[in-house]
């Protein structure tokens, strides 16, 4: 099952809208199960097979579990996944269709995570948990390798990364650091962590120059994939952002929802809330002068909008049906043009 | 926006389940908007731009409209799309997110098609309608070119193609015919049209050796993408199937729904009902001795399961949430193992 190798899109209409001539979208919606998490799961499943493990478990807000379920299906191993029972229905149905044992946990993602840790110890399963299994970082770093390869011989100035646990950002940082170590990059780009206002433990720490993380009790956001009380990879993520001279920005749920439609309309990439947060974060980073409009900037779009249709619905007005006649078409178009002007 | 170039997967676990050593899945769920229709829309939008047209219209059961909306967004042209108001919500939300003017028609796909024809004449729009715009065939034929290239120097014996209007099959036939004409294939594969029992105008004609089509009034199926009363490309499709020494099979809605989960579990490919129909059709074709288990066979998987989560839900039993403790995990696993044995 081919994973990664996703396109880095030049997005001319988004460039025009933002007045940025060097803006790209890394379209990771094109992975097999529709998210960046496939990169990590491919490597973890390969390692599990190398170690002779027949069951692999993970806790997840949804995408990592779906990715594990998909890759496990191609490899003939069993996936046991712990997810908050409030995960989007599309993710739950998708992971179960792949044949995973799905355990929806009546609780938060953080509780699902702890339960998965206990279960792996108790039952001797191979643990894919993010931030705990180092191969998730190694898998996700391939996104950075591909970005660098696509932009070469130029080099990216900044990459905006939607951030929950901080593992995707940690992986991207590792990828760029590896390239620099190999002298394939002169300098690593600034990494900008984008978090929802309601789930911003890492960005809060960046802003207060804290060395540790204060959990966000009752973390909540439309971006389910970024909703976490205690980010599991917080310290490595903080170090990576700081080492890159990067920053953190927070974005409101309404700006995330608007970014879904804006990104789709201007690039043809339909993103889930967590992924569209990268675009909302770009606007915030420009306003805060964290990014210049002339810089080479990449948005990492981490998952497809088809994973959360209810969220995308909030950004659009669903049109009423018309009767099958030409007058109705003409009238609807007049109204549509009137609204545009 | 890269379109096509999707993987041809060797699917070892599906091969084992079917006792077929030369079975492949052409995973067209990996196109940008999630369906084969992106192949047609890319070419149609390019031609519209060549002709200087600023508005492109189409009628669609959902995927073609979504594909047009996505590609139009990358090209800065306007898409006006006519769809039955009963199309899956995910498709409606996705196409609208891309910024298309969406006209949900209170009626069947066939009525939406007629209305679109009238509107194109009235308003001077460029018409993408399937079977009417020849570039849809030329776009879709790229799936055949890729299948042949991936299997070369061997050659496929049969390709199963989910069939509604008959345009994907017509395109695939054109691709193989072009390759034969160029002497890049010795012989073209047999094409097997797969239709739902409730929407089988083309297969009915194949079985009765009819030269014309009898419309299926009140056509209905869980596979919305294949539900059409009067297939628009029926005659070319009939000719293509017959010229290839192929056949037609019908599949029940329940076999389609079961095929969604079976395909996902055994290949890691999550398909919408229309696409999973290819797998249901394989079982039917084997039973009817239309295909031998030792032949080289390709299933064309035309769209992602994320487009129709309610349909996928019918194939699985959604698990009840568990409380966040280890006893609950152990108990659920015992029940899960008991069900398996």
Q: Do the Cβ atoms of B30 and A30 come within 8 Å?
A: yes
Minimal CA separation from A12 to chain B, in Å: 8
CB of B286 within 8 Å of a chain A CB? The answer is no
Asked if A124 and A78 touch (Cβ cutoff 8 Å), the reply is no
Is A168 found in the same domain as A107?
A: no
Residue B23's SS3 state is strand
pLDDT at A335: 81
**Cα A152 from chain centre:** 24
Q: Are the CB atoms for B61 and A227 separated by under 8 Å?
A: no
Its ipTM equals 0.95
Question: Where a domain ends, among B86, B104, B135?
Answer: B135
Are residue B56 and residue B24 in the same domain, yes or no? Answer: no
Q: Looking at beta carbons, which residues of chain A come within 8 Å of B325? A: 115
- Residue B322 near residue A80, CB atoms below 8 Å: no
pLDDT of B246: 98
Can you give the residue range of the structural domain that contains B188?
8-34+136-313
The model's confidence at residue B336, banded by pLDDT at 50, 70 and 90, is confident
Residues B301 and B202 in one domain: yes
End position of a domain, from candidates A104, A135, A166:
A135
| Alpha carbons B77 and B122: distance in angstroms, whole number | 19
Cβ atoms of B259 and B17 within 8 Å: the answer is: no
What CATH number is associated with residue B120? 3.40.50.1100
Residue A324 falls within a domain, yes or no? Answer: no
Q: Which residues of A touch B315 (CB under 8 A)?
A: 97
CA distance A170 to B141: 42
Q: Per-residue DSSP letters for A29-70? A: GGSTTSBTHHHHHHHHHHHHHHTT-SEEEEE-SSHHHHHHHH
Structure token digits, residue B274: 């229309």
Q: pLDDT by residue for chain A (341 residues), tens digit each?
A: 999 999 999 999 999 999 999 999 999 999 999 999 999 999 999 999 999 999 999 999 999 999 999 999 999 999 999 999 999 999 999 999 999 999 999 999 999 999 999 999 999 999 999 888 999 999 999 999 999 999 999 999 999 999 999 999 999 999 999 999 999 999 999 999 999 999 999 999 999 998 899 999 999 999 999 999 999 999 999 999 999 999 999 999 999 999 999 999 999 999 999 999 999 999 999 999 999 999 999 999 999 999 999 999 999 998 999 999 999 999 999 887 665 43
Let me know whether A155 and A66 are in one domain.
no
State whether A163 and A309 are in the same domain: yes
Reading the block at residue B200, the tokens are 């089988």
Residues in A touching B265 (Cβ below 8 Å): 73, 97-99
* Closest to B34 in 3D by CA, of B77, B93, B81: B93
Residue A260 with chain B: CB contacts under 8 Å: 97
Q: Give the strands of the sheet with A8-9, arranged side by side.
A: A8-9, A23-27, A297-301, A158-162, A190-196, A247-251
Residues A91 and A171 in one domain: no
Rounded Cα–Cα distance for residues B335 and B337 (Å): 5
| Contact yes or no for A32 and B305 at CB 8 A | no
Q: Give the HSE-up count for residue A147: Cα atoms under 13 Å, Cβ half-sphere.
A: 34
The verdict on residue A329 lying in a domain is no
Q: Which of A177, A102, A170 is nearest to A137 (CA)?
A: A170
Chain B contact present for A327, CB below 8 A:
no
Distance, CA of A269 to CA of A254 (rounded, Å): 19
- Regarding whether A46 and A28 lie in a shared domain, the answer is no
Q: Are residues A151 and A234 in the same domain?
A: yes
A152 shares its domain with A258: yes
Residue A341 has a pLDDT of: 39
Query: Which chain A residue has the Cα nearest residue B85?
Result: A321
Q: Is A14 part of a structural domain of the chain?
A: yes
Mean local confidence (pLDDT), B41-61: 96
Tokens 């029972």 correspond to A85
How many separate domains does chain A show? 2
Residue A339 within any structural domain of the chain: no
Question: By CB neighbour count within 10 A (0-12 exposed, 13-18 middle, 19+ buried), where does B122 fall?
Answer: exposed
Euclidean distance between CA atoms B250 and B167, whole angstroms: 17
**One domain, residues B74 and B130:** yes
Residues A221 and A183 in one domain: yes
pTM score of the predicted model: 0.96
Contact B94 A329 (CB under 8 A): no
Q: Domain boundary at B79, B100, B135, which?
A: B135
- Asked whether residue A249 is domain-assigned, the answer is yes
Kindly state the tokens that stand for B89: 């919500």
Give the tens place of pLDDT for each residue, B299-309. Answer: 999 999 999 99
Give me the DSSP letters along B56-96.
Answer: EEEE-SSHHHHHHHHHHHHHT-EEEEEEETTS-HHHHHHHH
Q: Which chain B residue's Cα is nearest to A81?
A: B329
In this predicted structure, the answer to whether residue B47 has a pLDDT above a threshold of 70 is yes
Q: Pairing relation of β-strands A190-196 and B55-59?
A: unpaired
Q: Does B332 touch chain A (CB under 8 A)?
A: yes
Please give the DSSP secondary-structure letter assigned to residue A102. Answer: E
Using a CB–CB cutoff of 8 Å, tell me whether A32 touches chain B.
yes
**Would A319 be classed as within a structural domain?**
no
Q: Are residue B16 and residue B149 in the same domain, yes or no?
A: yes
Q: Which residues in chain B touch residue A311, judged by CB atoms under 8 angstroms apart?
A: none
Instruction: Assign A86 to helix, strand or coil.
Output: coil
pLDDT for B209 beyond 80? yes
Tokens found for residue A110 = 């953080």
- The answer to the question of residue B1 being in a domain is no
Tell me the per-residue pLDDT of B93-103, one tens digit each, with 9 for 90 and over.
999 999 999 99
Rounded Cα distance, B266 and A74, in Å: 7
Residue B339 has pLDDT above 80, yes or no: no
Domain membership of residue B76 (yes or no) is yes
């Amino acid at each position: 099952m081919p994973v990664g190798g996703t396109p880095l899109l030049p997005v001319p209409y988004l460039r025009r809208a933002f007045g940025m001539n060097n803006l790209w979208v890394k379209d990771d919606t094109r992975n097999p199960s529709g998210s960046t998490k496939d990169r990590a799961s491919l490597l973890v499943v390969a390692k599990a097979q190398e170690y002779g493990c027949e069951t692999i478990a993970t806790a997840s807000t949804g995408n990592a579990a779906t990715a594990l379920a998909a890759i496990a299906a191609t490899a003939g191993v069993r996936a046991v996944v712990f997810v908050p029972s409030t995960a989007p229905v599309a993710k739950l149905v998708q992971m179960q269709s792949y044949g995973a044992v799905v355990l929806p946990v009546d609780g938060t993602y953080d509780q699902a995570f702890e339960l998965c840790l206990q279960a792996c110890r108790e039952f001797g399963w191979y643990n894919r948990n993010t931030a705990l299994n180092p191969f998730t970082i190694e898998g996700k770093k391939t996104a950075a390798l591909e970005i660098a390869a696509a932009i070469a011989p130029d080099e990216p100035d900044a990459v905006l990364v939607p951030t929950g646990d901080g593992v995707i950002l940690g992986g991207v940082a590792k990828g760029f650091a590896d390239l620099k170590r190999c002298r394939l990059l002169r300098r690593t780009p600034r990494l900008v962590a984008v978090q929802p206002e309601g789930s911003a433990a890492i960005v809060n720490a960046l802003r207060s120059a804290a060395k540790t993380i204060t959990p966000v009790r009752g973390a909540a956001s439309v971006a389910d994939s970024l909703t976490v009380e205690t980010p599991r990879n917080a310290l490595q993520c903080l170090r990576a952002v700081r080492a890159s001279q990067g920053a953190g920005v927070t974005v409101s749920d309404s700006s995330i929802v608007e970014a879904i439609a804006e990104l789709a309309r201007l690039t043809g990439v339909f993103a889930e809330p967590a992924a569209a947060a990268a675009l909302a974060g770009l606007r915030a980073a420009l306003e805060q002068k964290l990014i210049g409009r002339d810089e080479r900037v990449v948005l990492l779009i981490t998952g497809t909008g088809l994973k959360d249709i209810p969220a995308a619905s909030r950004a659009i007005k669903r049109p009423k049906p018309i009767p099958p006649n030409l007058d109705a078409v003409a009238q609807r178009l007049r109204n549509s043009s009137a609204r545009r002007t």
